[in-house]
Copies of this chain bind each other. A is one copy, B any other.
Amino acid sequence: MSQISLSGIHKSFGSTEVLKGVSLDIEAGEFVTLVGPSGCGKSTLLRILAGLDSADTGDVRIQAQSVTQTRAADRNLAMVFQSYALYPHLSVAENMMTPLKMRELGWAGRLPIVGPLVARRACRDIHARVEAVAETLKITPLLARKPGQLSGGQRQRVALGRAMVRDPVAFLMDEPLSNLDAALRVHMRAELSELHRRLNATFVYVTHDQAEALTMSDRMAVMMQGEILQVGPPDEIYHNPASLAVARFIGSPAINVLPGEKLADGRVVLLGQRLFNVQSGQPRALFIGLRPEHLHLAAEGRFEGMISHRENLGSDLFLHLTLKEMDNPVVIRAHPDQARNVARGHNVRFDLDPAKVLFFEADGQRVTLDGARQLEVAQ
């Protein structure tokens, strides 16, 4: 039985349907990412799982128990918020103690001054646990500070710490990195992954940054407009997207989409060039998806374009090529060493790796063309 199971979740705010029947199963110990553009309903789904919102219809199960009627405080989930939501008036240590105090001390133990005296043992225990977590997160020197005196990354860690002191069924995180600066974000990605491995706990992670989703998750669920379009391991999603929407959203720079067609005789044609042959059949128009790294500059390449923009990241060089036949530029990844030879305005030739070509129907559905792989690639 899976650890967490959402089935048929519907949710509307007023007349707008924000979630349109979402189902998702999450196994114990898994790191699952919900990724999708802003406003697609990720946070709403997470909040329904947490018990902070309630679904209109649908069922939420945690460890095989239906919790649809259980309030957030009783679901034993921990959540890290995008804004961190630290209590501004409490010190870091007190922030981290709060969930324990609330759950483990009686009302007397929670009193401001007498509390520690009444529930001596429990308090000492709580202190010890907070210190242990602080040690893990390397925030021990900060324990006495108030959140206002911390930097973004430090706050992020405290928010994590507050979630970690308990032993929740799962950690829910709503864009926990989006308030950090670029360098720190990259760094924290690795830290979070490491944490997940060490705790061996279930993580449900919401983000709109596909890089985070790709690098951290065991499985990712791509959401758009209130629906989950595809669920799978990052590799699968990246290389084998189920639809054009998924393909477009995942990958940076975004996948190039070019108009192609399959002719009646089985030839698949892109911009007038035959890519390969497949079994003959109904002729049809196709969208052809090609990721920038699957295109390469080649002196005798079959396609030609004019360099309209260069992005040199040092480690990579992205060239935006304007093609005669197309409005949108095609983005190609080149080796930075080639930078010297390619300036804006130059015409260059390029070719593609036919094995990596993705086909989509006009409605965005991914299709595989029978026999495509077997055919010899035309030079």
**Which of A109-117, A188-196, A257-265 lies at the interface?**
A188-196
From B186, B234, B251, give the contact of A252 (CB < 8 A): B186
A320-B190 contact given A215-B312, A312-B235, CB 8 Å threshold: yes
Which B residues are in CB contact (< 8 Å) with A38?
151-152, 181
Residues 300-337 (chain A) with a chain B CB within 8 angstroms: 309, 311-315, 318, 320, 333, 336
- Tell me, in angstroms, the Cα distance from A309 to B311 when the chains sit together: 28
Interface size on A, residues (CB 8 A): 43
Which B residues are in CB contact (< 8 Å) with A211?
182, 313
Residues 207-239 (chain A) with a chain B CB within 8 angstroms: 208-211, 214-215, 234-235, 238-239
Q: How far is the CB of A179 from chain B (nearest CB, A)?
A: 10
Interface contact A215-B183, CB-CB below 8 Å = no
Q: How far is the CB of A246 from chain B (nearest CB, A)?
A: 12
Identical chains in the assembly: 2
From B37, B193, B250, B320, give the contact of A314 (CB < 8 A): B250
Which B residues are in CB contact (< 8 Å) with A254?
183, 186
Q: Which residue of B lies closest to A208 (CB)?
A: B181
Which B residues are in CB contact (< 8 Å) with A186?
252-254
From B152, B251, B339, give the contact of A235 (CB < 8 A): B339
12 new A-B contacts, CB < 8 A, other than A37-B181, A181-B208, A182-B209, are A37-B183, A38-B152, A182-B211, A183-B208, A183-B210, A183-B249, A186-B254, A193-B309, A215-B312, A215-B313, A234-B314, A250-B314
**Can you name 30 A-B residue pairings with CB atoms under 8 Å?**
A37-B183, A38-B152, A38-B181, A178-B181, A181-B208, A181-B209, A182-B209, A182-B210, A182-B211, A182-B252, A189-B311, A190-B309, A193-B309, A193-B311, A211-B313, A214-B312, A215-B311, A215-B312, A234-B312, A234-B314, A235-B312, A235-B314, A235-B336, A235-B339, A238-B312, A238-B315, A251-B314, A291-B314, A291-B315, A315-B333
